[in-house]
Structure 1
């Protein structure tokens, strides 16, 4: 049992930051992202003996994050929770002001579109893998991505972004 626990701890330590960033991008909020990741890691621990033998437990965790986030936004579809103001520790001195604009634009996307954009452009997954994770067709992934990018372009049409073209 100790060996199983040690491999699980090593997995979490190796993957925490990568999957935390994914969870934050999926949820649009640091605290909700942390909660989502912790919930998924607890569920993974319950199945760790089987998952440790699997090819890629990181892919399993990524799929869990997406699926649990989709389940959460389906339950809370009618509620719009207001996030607490970000902690001062969450902001680095060298953060570019456009980063906040991009985050706000991502938060404005529908959760499924946000998931497609994050998995495609942040995680750099192929469309076929995204379709498998989200349980939809490749065509749906392509159309959701195109619509999301159009919304992001429209939201980010500011003088700052226009200069960089």
Structure 2
């Protein structure tokens, strides 16, 4: 009975989180297929360790982190292919994605991966700076710096970040 219960718990977790996490990972990596592949592998690993992962304070953070790391490993193995892909990149459609969301994803592709990751975790996932630091393993000051640089880099592409940067400059 314990196995059936844990299987049902995992299925409920997967059903409740998979679409949301796909959006997060897609925003971090900028490619739907890469996000889907990485997330599928992360869920497979979560299932293998479900007894432990289910007890974590935030199992979604574990899956999101693993998926991100899988995607980064994939990037390293296929760096040349990705460079060619980016040269010819076109807007990809995430099922149900609005034009604004697709524009944001395109803008995120233009900034470094570390900045993109903290921007997504903070602004799209809704994590606090401290939670982002915990999930990424970076010091809080580094997260704040990456957020600030990422916002500046996105300001020319996304009006929300341009407004934030203007407000920040007014207080300096």
Match for residue 51 of structure 1? 53
Among 64, 67, 72, the residue aligned to 2:74? 72
TM-score, with length taken from structure 1: 0.79
CA distance in 1, matches of 2:61, 2:146: 21
In the TM superposition, residue 4 of structure 1 has moved relative to its aligned partner by 2.0
Question: Conserved in 1, the CA contact under 8 Å of 2:25 and 2:39?
Answer: yes
Question: Conserved in 1, the CA contact under 8 Å of 2:61 and 2:135?
Answer: no
Among 34, 37, 56, the residue aligned to 2:36? 34
Matches within 5 A, 1:43-122: 43-78=45-80, 79-82=82-85, 86=92, 90=95, 95-96=98-99, 98-122=100-124
CA distance in 1, matches of 2:104, 2:55: 39
Cα 1:48/1:35, change in 2 over 3 Å: same
Unaligned ranges ≥5, structure 1: none
Unaligned ranges ≥5, structure 2: 167-172
Deviation string 1:43-100 (CA, Å, 9 cap, x unpaired) is 101101222233332232233233333433444445425268746x8366xx34x443
CA distance in 1, matches of 2:55, 2:118: 28
CA distance in 1, matches of 2:65, 2:104: 24
Q: Which moved more, 1:102-111 or 1:36-45?
A: 102-111
Question: Conserved in 2, the CA contact under 8 Å of 1:119 and 1:125?
Answer: yes
Deviation string 1:115-157 (CA, Å, 9 cap, x unpaired) is 0100010111111121122121111111111111111112347
Match for residue 20 of structure 2? 18
Question: Conserved in 1, the CA contact under 8 Å of 2:115 and 2:147?
Answer: yes
Question: Conserved in 2, the CA contact under 8 Å of 1:70 and 1:112?
Answer: no
TM-score, with length taken from structure 2: 0.76
Q: Which moved more, 1:63-72 or 1:135-144?
A: 63-72
Root-mean-square deviation (CA, aligned residues, Å) is 2.7
Number of residue pairs matched? Answer: 156
